[in-house]
């Protein structure tokens, strides 16, 4: 098994060097999946403290999606190895035994037939088989004698018309090689998508955590407003109905806290699930990641939209696969067309054997038999082959449309994420101003309320608007970050360290 793993690793390394020269190379060895081990404790729920980098490191080890992507890649490598084995010098052997009994006269025999040899396929379409064998016949009754015969055989078959030529004969191996390239590209793209999913869920936890904190601050603010309104009502400075309004707002804020806590726990569970860690373990994310993100200048595309489209066409691995599959479809048409031709196979056979005796003797090669023959199959009935040819022609046209469809999808997806990035950038700037204005409004309204110039509703509305602006600001910041990563993904420019899934694009200055 170890030798098999080494061969697979060599195959995958070679494919990387030939087709992913610009990507960071990696050691693609499939390790057995191991579940996350919960640290032993004193009965309390263990707490796992994570930032974005450590979350990605955990996913590299325990993510079920990442392990499945590796296994899918290995299936393609195994298929290539199995196909390439068909073109090696392969040993063949056989042993059979037959026990016979006759009643009149009573006798029994044991006949054996054993052979050992090799077979080989060539890219011209030729097949070579050679073997040596030994036949024995042992009499189990009477004189109990033994008859021994040794023999040798070489057979060569060579197609001369249909089935001749490297392009035709090698097609299964060629397709297996290309399928591995496609699988490797899919694996790299799946890893990039996994990084985005993890970042999205990680920042969702931070967003939910921030919203919960804002909700607590809002609750404290409205509770404080309730206390002040009650004191002012006792002094006859405000009407009792304003106290009821404040009390109702406190109940609303308290109910909102319950929902925010539930959202926070759900976000935690979703992050645990994608990381492959148990749901019953405690999780504490690093709020500093969100603070660093807020302190960074929002990134902007380094190119215009038309340049981005051309970059995506050039860099996207999935688009390269769609284009290459058009070549596959064209080759399949040629293969199906070749099957419509007449078949003419040349067969050459040589046999040598020894005289049958009670002891082994040399084979008489001088008395060998040689046979040459032709096997002709005229294309008088090729209905199935013609149907297959028609299918391949249709598949070729379909693949041509798939390229156009892929181009449209790339442009559409890129335009969508491009718009989202611009929208979240504008929203972030708007909400940042809104937070500043809302804070000033709360301060001024607080003073006006205490001076009896506005009622409690004005103050409560100002506090609600401040809470909403803060939540919108955080949400816009997180959405912009995720859209930026998605833009890089759409451009095919999201380099990832295969060991820990970290990308330099995640660095926050």
The residue among 154, 146, 107 whose CA lies nearest residue 127 is 154
| pTM over cut 0.85 | yes
Is position 177 within any domain? yes
* Per-residue pLDDT tens digits for 433-488: 999 999 999 999 988 887 878 888 888 899 999 999 999 999 999 999 999 999 99
Same domain, 318 and 241: yes
Considering the domain architecture, whether residues 295 and 359 belong to the same structural domain is answered as no
Same domain, 438 and 298: yes
Q: Please say if the pLDDT value at position 360 is more than 80.
A: no
Residue 259 belongs to some domain of the structure: yes
Strand 146-159 and strand 343-353: the pairing is: antiparallel
Among 377, 393, 420, the domain boundary falls at 377
- Say how far apart CA 80 and CA 74 lie, in whole Å: 10
Domain interval for residue 350: 92-122+126-162+343-377
How far apart are the C-alpha atoms of 283 and 270, rounded to whole Å?
11
Query: Does residue 446 share a domain with residue 320?
Result: yes
* Residue 6 lies inside a defined structural domain of this protein: no
Of residues 175 and 19, the one with the higher pLDDT is 175
Enter the tokens of residue 114: 């054993």
User: Does residue 71 sit within a domain?
Assistant: no
Q: Output the domain CATH number for residue 319.
A: 1.20.1600.10
- In a domain, residue 220? The reply is yes
Together in a domain, 234 and 134: no
On whether residue 40 sits in a domain, the answer given is no
Domain count, the chain: 2
| pLDDT tens track for 34-78 | 888 877 666 677 889 999 999 999 999 999 999 999 999 999 999
Beta bridge partners of 109: 100, 139
Assess whether 231 and 255 both reside in one domain: yes
Is 309 inside any structural domain? Answer: yes
Encode pLDDT of 285-329 as tens digits: 999 999 999 998 999 998 999 999 999 999 999 999 999 999 999
- The answer on 103 and 136 residing in a single domain is yes
Q: Does residue 153 sit in the same domain as residue 273?
A: no
Q: Which residue has the tokens 């064998």?
A: 133
Residues 212 and 144 in one domain: no
Where is pLDDT greater, at 127 or 37?
127
Tell me: do 216 and 274 sit in the same domain.
Answer: yes
* 271 within some domain: yes
Same domain, 177 and 139: no
130 shares its domain with 211: no
What distance lies between CA 410 and its chain's CA centroid? 19
């Amino acid at each position: 098994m170890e030798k098999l793993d080494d061969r697979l690793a060599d195959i995958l390394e070679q494919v990387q060097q030939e087709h992913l020269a610009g990507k960071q190379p990696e050691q693609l060895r499939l390790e057995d999946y191991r579940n996350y081990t919960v640290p032993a404790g004193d009965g309390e729920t263990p707490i796992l403290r994570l930032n974005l980098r450590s979350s990605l490191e955990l996913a590299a080890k325990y993510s079920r999606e990442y392990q499945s992507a590796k296994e899918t890649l290995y299936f393609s490598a195994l298929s290539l190895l199995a196909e390439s084995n068909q073109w090696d010098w392969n040993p063949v052997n056989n042993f059979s035994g037959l026990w016979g009994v006759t009643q009149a006269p009573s006798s029994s025999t044991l006949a054996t037939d054993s052979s050992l040899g090799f077979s080989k396929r060539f890219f011209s379409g030729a097949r070579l088989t050679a073997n040596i064998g030994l036949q024995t016949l042992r009499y189990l009754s009477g004189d109990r004698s033994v008859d021994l015969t040794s023999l040798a055989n070489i057979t060569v078959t060579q197609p001369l018309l249909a089935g001749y030529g490297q392009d035709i004969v090698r097609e299964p191996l060629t397709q297996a090689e290309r399928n591995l390239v496609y699988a490797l590209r899919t694996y790299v793209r799946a890893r990039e998508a996994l990084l985005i999913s993890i970042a999205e869920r990680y920042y969702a936890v931070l967003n939910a955590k921030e919203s919960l904190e804002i909700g607590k601050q809002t609750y404290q603010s409205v509770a404080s407003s309730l206390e002040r309104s009650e004191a002012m009502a006792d002094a006859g400075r405000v009407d009792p109905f304003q106290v009821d309004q404040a009390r109702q707002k406190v109940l609303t804020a308290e109910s909102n806290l319950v929902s925010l806590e539930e959202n926070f726990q759900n976000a935690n569970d979703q992050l645990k699930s994608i990381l492959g860690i148990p749901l019953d373990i405690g999780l504490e994310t690093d709020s500093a990641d969100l603070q660093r993100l807020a302190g960074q200048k929002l990134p902007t595309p380094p190119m215009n939209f038309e340049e981005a489209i051309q970059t995506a066409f050039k860099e996207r691995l999935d688009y390269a696969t769609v284009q290459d599959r058009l070549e596959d479809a064209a080759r399949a048409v040629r293969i199906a067309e070749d099957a419509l031709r007449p078949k003419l196979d040349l067969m050459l056979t040589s046999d040598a054997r020894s005289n049958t005796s009670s002891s082994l003797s040399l084979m008489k090669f001088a008395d060998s038999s040689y046979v040459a023959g032709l096997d002709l199959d005229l294309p008088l009935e090729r209905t199935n082959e013609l149907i297959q040819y028609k299918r391949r022609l249709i598949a070729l046209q379909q693949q041509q449309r798939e390229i156009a469809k892929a181009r449209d999808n790339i442009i559409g997806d890129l335009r969508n994420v491009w718009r989202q990035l611009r929208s979240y950038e504008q929203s972030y700037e708007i909400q940042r101003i809104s937070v500043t204005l809302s804070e000033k409004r709360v301060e001024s309204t607080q003073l006006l309320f205490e001076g009896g110039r506005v009622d409690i509703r004005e103050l409560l509305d100002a506090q609600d608007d401040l809470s909403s602006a803060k939540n919108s600001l955080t949400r816009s910041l997180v959405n912009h970050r995720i859209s930026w990563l998605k833009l890089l993904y759409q451009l095919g420019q999201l380099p990832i360290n295969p060991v820990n899934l970290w990308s330099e694009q995640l660095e926050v200055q």
